[in-house]
Each structure stands twice: as C-alpha cells, then as structure tokens.
Amino acid sequence: MSEIGALRIGAFSRAVVWRSWRRVAIVAMLLGLALVACLSLGKVPLPPHELRAALMAPGSDIGLIVWQLRLPRTLLGVMAGGALALSGWLLQQVVRNPLASPDTLGVTGGASAGAVCYLAFLASTLGSTWLPLAAATGALTAVGLVYAMAWQQGVTPLRLVLMGIGLSAMLAAVTTFVLLSSPLSTTLSAYVWLTGSVYGSNWTEVLRLASWFAGALLMMVPLMRFALLASLDDALAVGIGVRVQLSRGTLTLLAAGLAGIAVAWGGAIAFVGLVAPHLARRLVPGPGAAQIVMASMIGSVMVILADLLGRTLFLPLDLPAGIFVAAVGAPFFLGLLIWQVR
C-alpha cells in the first residue's frame, strides 16, 4: 500500500501520510494504557475486574475511588498536558526554534505571577474560585507585554524570544518577592501550585477546563493553515499571500491562551511544552495534523504518568506531577541545547 493516500469527503480533499497516522495510533494506544494504569494503581490497587466493576457502579466504595478521586485528576492531566503541548508546538512554529516553549516566552511566568498575587492578596476574601482566571489573565498579559516590547515595525521571532526571556526573569523576581512577603500558609499553597499538580481535582474543574480547551481547539482549526506556514521565511510567506504580522500575533495569542488555561487548572508544569512537540517532530517529521495530534497525546501521557508516579512511589505522600516532569524535561532540554550548539 502506498504511504501517501487521499481523504475525500465531498468537496474536501486532504493528503494522508499513512505511516504518520500509524504512529499516532500506537501512541493513542499507549495513552489508553496510561489511563488504565492511572485508574488502577494507587493506595488502593484495583485489578482489572475490580476496575471494571467500579466503572459500572459509581456509587460503590471502589466506584467512589475511581469516579471522584482518580478519574477527575486523570482527565484534568490529559487536557492540561495536551494544551501545554499544543501551545509549545504553536510557539515553536512561530519562533522557528525547537527550544521555544511557554516557559521561555513568559507565558508560564505570567500565569505564575498572576496566581501567586491572587493567592497572596485576594484568596482570603474571594476564595480559590477565581484562581484559574487570575492565572490565565497573567499569561495573556505577559504575552501582550512581550509582543509590545518586541514590536518595531513588526515582530521578528528573535525579538520575541529575547523579550520573553527577559520578561520571564522579571516575573520570576516578582513571584519570589510576593512569596517572601506572604504568610507561610499562602507560600506553601503557592509552591505546590508553582510546581504543578492536579491533586484534588474535581468534576467542576474538569468541565470548566474542557469547555475552555474545546473553545481553543475550535479557534485553532481555521488557523492551522497559517500555523503550518509560520515556519517559512517572512519574505516567502508574504510572497504567497500570508499576512505575516497578523497571523504571527494571532497564533502567539492562541498559544498563550492554551498555556494559560492549562497552567490555570494544572499549575505551572514545566517542560511539557518543550519536550512533547520536539518528540512529535521526531516521530512525525512532516508538519500537519498528525504531528499536532501526536504532540498533544505525548503531552497528555507525560503529565498523567508523572502524576501516577507522584502519588504511588512515595506513599502515603502525594507529590506534585511537576517534579517528575522536570526530572525528565531538564536533562532533555540540556541535551537538546547541546545538540543545537553542535
């Protein structure tokens, strides 16, 4: 069978690289196995027959463990990891650099600063309900500042990266200052959130994140053409009719929104937006829908497996997932940086 086929639905026609989608299917099966493992393993391990019984009887004791404790945090991890990976993929396309990610362009720093300021000054009166909104607002504000500072008769990828790194350092200083000035209880809560954790997730949070994530995906679909062309040289893109500055700004804003909603509900989980898109490009070399789906699934697998390790390796402790993502992501980042230099 030919490796390249065509998908036709009425007037719609699209070339399909079957090898890429076979790899996507393999990773989808790995994601399914990871989901089963997250629901089965924990302080109370559930064999396959007990897991099946728990899924069929939500009101039972083991059903409570699966439906109210494990399933919400697993689904939240799937969506947070997928959103971070998609954000990283978009930013790497816009910046044309595999080292770009929400962490290096100030998105995560803005979300962290917004969340910490909310916890320090507003949480005592408003509660934790508005924490996701504060984090998302911080992320979007940081991107707006980066874009404004990088603007000089347009924005270039290099200026975006340099301004993002500088603003990230400044926001980290603001976050540290607020933490040092806050009560101990606020500082402890903020540190757990800054590390990245889906602990204590509930169905309300899952539904809210799902609604925002679905909205971001609907916005992403019509922009995919521009995302695939974003890696072209500016002159070449203009030559084929792309409004470079408009598409670059729109894609950057969408990437910030995806990272903002992920960080808002899952905490500042680092390196997912860097590692997942890079692995997807290795597994699916050609840019397209298969590569995007691959990146999203790899991000989801990273987060839920990290959460599984955090709540099973050191029982009775429940460690934040961000610790284990960073343990894998930091060496990967250093290796990627050395490879880029060489």
Distance (Å, rounded) from C-alpha 336 to C-alpha 342? 10
So what's the pLDDT on residue 1?
45
Place of tokens 């939240």: 76
So what's the pLDDT on residue 234?
65
Task: Answer yes or no: are the C-beta atoms of 315 and 43 closer than 8 Å.
Answer: yes
So what's the pLDDT on residue 331?
81
Task: Answer yes or no: are the C-beta atoms of 320 and 197 closer than 8 Å.
Answer: yes
- Signed CA dihedral, 174, 167, 217, 100: sign only: negative
pTM (predicted TM-score): 0.89
So what's the pLDDT on residue 342?
67
- Domains of the chain, each with CATH number or no CATH: 78-341 (1.10.3470.10)
Backbone phi and psi for residue 271, each to the nearest 5 degrees, phi listed first: 75, -15
Distance (Å, rounded) from C-alpha 106 to C-alpha 203? 30
Q: Compute mean pLDDT per 10 residues along the chain, 342 residues long, and list them.
A: 56 64 91 94 88 86 88 94 92 81 84 84 76 83 86 77 86 86 75 78 89 90 79 68 76 86 84 89 82 93 92 85 84 74 68
